[in-house]
Every structure is written in structure tokens, then in C-alpha cells.
Amino acid sequence: MTIISQSLYRLVGLDGRPHHVLDAPYESIEAAIAAATEWTEGQGLACSLSERAIGIQVSTVNGSWRTIRYPDALKQLGF
């Protein structure tokens, strides 16, 4: 019997650790991106550029996390 589990996503900072504000499980990559976008365009504007660099990790079947998008501060500037 195969058990299929739904992936969870989380947002991380430049250091690869859970983001200091957006540390929550997200049920889809779209939900994670939406939360990151909303924060960086609102409350995050008052933070440093390095704090606004956000990456995405996905949970693995063994309980660890794999980075699927690395934080990139330059994207916040439109580069």
C-alpha cells in the first residue's frame, strides 16, 4: 500500500533557516509565494534588503527540507 502525502512548503531567509516573520507551513508553492509577495510589498518594505530575500523549501518524505528556490536579494530590486 502506497501512502501519498501532500508536500508542505516553507519560506527561508538568506541563511537557509526559516524566515523570521513568515515561518509557517504552506500547503502549496503558490500559497508560499503569495505570502512572501504580500509581506515584501507591505511590512517587509521597512526591512533591509537581505531580510526581504526569501527562498522556498519543500518537505521531503523523510521529514527533512529541500531548497527549491534559493533566496535572491537582487530579485527584490528587479534585476
Cell of 68: 527549491
Listed by start position, the domains of the chain span: 9-73
**What is d(CA 5, CA 15) in angstroms, rounded to the nearest whole number?**
28
With a CB cutoff of 8 Å and minimum separation 6, the contacts of 5 are: 61
Residue 39's pLDDT is 94
The residues facing 26 across adjacent strands are: 9
Whether 77 has a pLDDT exceeding 50, the answer reads: no
Over residues 33-70, the pLDDT tens digits come to: 999 999 999 999 999 988 889 999 999 999 999 999 99
Residue 17 has which C-alpha cell?
A: 533557516
Residue type, 4: I
Cα–Cα distance between 14 and 57 in angstroms, integer?
A: 12
Given this model, what pLDDT does residue 50 score?
Answer: 86
